[in-house]
Amino acid sequence: MQPKKATAWKRNRKFGDIMGGCMRTKLDSGIFQRIHSLTAPTPGTELPIFIQDNPSKAFYYPLNIEEIKAILAMPPTAHTQPLTHIWLAKVRKVSYLSGEIPRGHFIHGSRVYLIKLYAVSKDNRLYFGRQKPDTKVLSFYAEHSTDLRKDGNGYYLQFNEVTVRMSYRKVLLHEIGHCADLVYKGGWSPANRRKTENFADDYATTWEKNQ
C-alpha cells in the first residue's frame, strides 16, 4: 500500500493549455496537443506529489516511489524544483502492444509540472508497433537492450528485470532533462522539438553515468 502522499492529488476537467516533452517509442508523439487533468498544488504542499495507479495484472512499475525520489535528488535542485507531480500511470494492454504507449512524458501547463511514467509489461517487452523503430530510438535503449524482435503485435525490444529498471531510470532522467531545459530556456516550439529531444537524451546519458 502506498503512503497517503502517493495519492494526494486532485483532478480538474477544465485544463487544456499544455506544452511538454517526451521520450516515446515513436518520437512523433504530438507533444503540443497533450493535456493534463490535475489542479495546481496549494501553497505549503510538499512537492512533488506522487500519484500511483493500480496497474492490471500483466503490468508493473520497475521503479517504486522511494527509488524515484533518489533519482530526483541526483541533479542540481534547480533542475527539478518546478516539478509538482510524478505520476505512475497504468496502461491499456491493446495500446501497449500497438506501440502507442510511451515510457514517459513531461507535461506542463496551468502551474502544473508533471512527469508521467507508464507501467511496463511483466514480460519486459517494449513494443514499437508494426513499423521497425529507427536508429535514434534504438540508440536510446541500446545500452540496456539491443535484442530487437518481432511477433504478431510488431517489433519490440526484450529486456530483463535488471535492464528494464536501468532503462526506466534513463527515461525518468530524460523527462527531468525536459524540466531542466524549461528552467534554462523557458519553453519549446514545434520548430525546436528535435533540439529539445536531443537535449533530453544527452541529459539522461550524462546523469545516468553519474549514478
Encode pLDDT of 17-28 as tens digits.
233 333 343 333
Rounded to an integer, what distance in angstroms lies between the CA atom of residue 128 and that of residue 101?
Answer: 9
Which residues, other chains included, contact 169 with Cβ-Cβ below 8 Å and sequence gap of 6+? 63, 71, 208, 211
CB atoms within 10 A of CB 117: 22
Q: What is the pLDDT of residue 66?
A: 97
C-alpha cell at 110: 496551468
Run of H or E including 189:
none
35: confidence class by pLDDT, cuts 50, 70, 90: low
Per-residue b/e over 20-36, b at no fewer than 16 CB within 10 Å?
A: bbbbbbbbebebeebeb
Mean pLDDT (whole number) for 152-178? 97
189: confidence class by pLDDT, cuts 50, 70, 90: low
Q: What is the pLDDT of residue 184?
A: 87
Highest mean pLDDT: which range of 31-45, 123-137, 181-195: 123-137
pLDDT tens-digit series, residues 72-103: 999 999 999 999 999 999 999 999 999 998 89
Q: Is 25 left (phi over 0), alpha (psi -120 to 50) or beta?
A: alpha
pLDDT tens-digit series, residues 48-65: 999 999 999 999 999 999
Q: Is the pLDDT of residue 5 over 80?
A: no
In the chain, where the domains are located: 4-206
Rounded to an integer, what distance in angstroms lies between the CA atom of residue 88 and that of residue 55?
Answer: 9
Name the percent of the chain lying above pLDDT 90: 67
Q: What is the pLDDT of residue 10?
A: 37
Q: At what angle do helices 65-72 and 161-185 cross, to 10 degrees?
A: 40
Q: What is the pLDDT of residue 130?
A: 95
Mean pLDDT (whole number) for 161-188? 92
Contact 122, 59 (CB under 8 A): yes
Q: What is the pLDDT of residue 109?
A: 84
Q: What is the pLDDT of residue 210?
A: 80
C-alpha cell at 121: 509489461
For the chain, give the mean pLDDT.
84
Secondary structure of residue 105 in the 3-state scheme: strand
122: confidence class by pLDDT, cuts 50, 70, 90: very high
Rounded to an integer, what distance in angstroms lies between the CA atom of residue 31 and that of residue 108?
Answer: 11
Q: Is the pLDDT of residue 9 over 60?
A: no
Contact 90, 53 (CB under 8 A): yes
